[in-house]
Amino acid sequence: MDQELLKQCEAVAKEWATNPVFDAQTQAEVRAMLENDDKTQLIDSFYQTLEFGTGGLRGIMGPGTNRMNIYTVGAATQGLANYLKKNFADRDKISVAVGVDCRNNSDVFAERVADIFAANGIYVYLFDDMRPTPEVSFAIRYLGCQSGVNITASHNPREYNGYKAYWDDGAQVLPPHDKGIIEEVNRVRYEDVKTGGDKKYITIIGEEVDQEYIDAVHTLSIDKAAIERQKDLCIVYTPLHGAGMMMIPRSLKAWGFENVNCVPEQMVKDGNFPTVVSPNPENAEAMTLAINLAKKLDADIVMASDPDADRIAMACKDTNGEWTIINGNQTMLIFLYYIIKNRVDQGLMKGNEFVVKTIVTTEMVKKVADKYGIEMRDCYTGFKWIAREILISEGVKKYIGGGEESFGFLAEDFCRDKDSVSACSLLAEICAWAKDQGKSLYQILMDIYMEYGFSYNKAVNVVRPGKTGADEIKAMMENYRQNPPTELAGEKVTLVKDWSVLEATDDKGNKTKLVQPATSNVLQYFTASGTKASVRPSGTEPKIKFYIEVEGKMQSPADYKACCEAAEKKCLDVLKSLGVE
């Protein structure tokens, strides 16, 4: 054990155990850590201050500088309030929207946030109950706010909570404001946090924003006639105990779908997520109850949202009638294929449209966009970067959709974060359009592969929690830079992209500059056959992520499973080339 680190942690913990700024329960819990012979929890709770990153905060709940609690949340809010007052000093009124999800302590944290803003003379629009993250983004724009906060840890395990900070465009904060806020937050001492705000600064909001949001989402429908013909489409939906239950069934009804079946056990608000191992719809296990209900009802589609209802997951029947999960890359591909093809077919294109994907998302999207002459842009992981593309082209070019491999899609520009409310509604429309042609969603996916070629994606997360884990992840990235792989599954690496220095290097040593508004700790390796491997540490969780894509040929839909098996083997070989077993 690092005795110097332990000594530093104990010094900070003793301050928490005695300083009257901390409540009695917090002090007691910290004293228990100090008295425990096992110092692991003490070190993990105090070895650093929970970092206010470019997206806000996310961490395990509990006492300590490296935990989500009313004090770390309070310091973040005070820093944000200080920055807002400096940045909007010329305004008579500064306002923010504050939302929550279903997690334990979310209501407590949201009330703390609202109180601190009020104590700083900032007006607060506080939602009366949990709402989807995209609705908070919408509310910021609709209400003319300068900022916003959503208390959520998205799809993280139950012990986590988080704090997403937004700017006046409804997107998570981008440079230079992200750095400016971080600097202000880092200056705040717990004693500096203002509380006891006047209630006149806080307005409770709900239905008036809900209806405007639902009406806006409904404008995204492309083929209303198909919905009318297939309004009895059998839909199974689960919110996984989260905020999606507030708006997604309502949105589906507004679009005209009359046979929506919600998983009853998961239509219960519960931050303990009792029916799943983890509330992450990327994990097939989270879809179990929904698929069981779909089998019982012989449903057409299963859809799920994560706890803050920004991510969407889906499952459908294959040609043998077996339920299969559609992964995040396929989800993105299906959405943009439908949007582009049907907007073209209905004469809705004006020639100034564009779509966006993240650099780790399937390259198949570009093939679809290229066929129809639609501009496709690449950006970093995180919807704030997609939102930036919308912002810089606002009023000049038309954004018609964008997403990422981690089950996030945004079809609209009236909110600026991924949106499972609009995505679920659009998914139902896609299924109705497919059924109108006598097809299933699965058959639409096969049509795409037959037209554009087969592609297979695999993502692997290597989890390394705590201080030692953070050090290990850092060392892994350094090793990849110092000793880059020369082959992937036996194929020569022909191009390396290092986004931390915005530089691409080919196999002859030629270097070219990469164009992005900032650097990012991402490495990518490419081969001539279309294999792509991306490596990046997570910005919100203690893990390093590997994204593999391989391409292949599919002669007919009957070849799909064999192609997947061969591609899976190749992905595993690629991971071995990267030292991941």
HSE-CB at 59 with a 13 A cutoff on CA atoms is: 24
Token pair of 454 as six digits? 């087969």
CA pair distance 69, 58, nearest whole angstrom: 11
Which tokens is 385 given? 């970067």
CA 458 to chain centre: 18
Among 136, 158, 132, 159, which Cα is nearest to 60's? 159
How far apart CA 217 and CA 464 sit, in angstroms, is 39
Can you say whether residue 527 is alpha, beta or left, with left for phi > 0 and alpha for psi between -120 and 50 degrees?
Answer: beta
Helix (H, G, I), strand (E, B) or coil at 334: helix
Contact 143, 102 (CB under 8 A): no
By C-alpha distance, which of 214, 197, 133, 198 is closest to 387?
133
Which residue in the list 154, 422, 520, 534 is annotated as catalytic?
154
Residue carrying structure tokens 């779908």: 257
Distance (Å, whole) CA 161 – CA 154? 8
What are the E-state strand segments in 27-159? 56-60, 95-100, 123-127, 147-151
Encoding tokens for residue 111?
């009330």
> Any catalytic annotation for residue 500?
no
**d(C-alpha 477, C-alpha 332), whole Å:** 28
> Cis (ω within 30 of 0) for the bond into 176?
yes
Phi, psi of 353 (to 5 degrees): -80, 155
Q: How far is CA 348 from CA 22, 414, 432, 562, in A?
A: 59, 19, 20, 38
Active site residues: 154
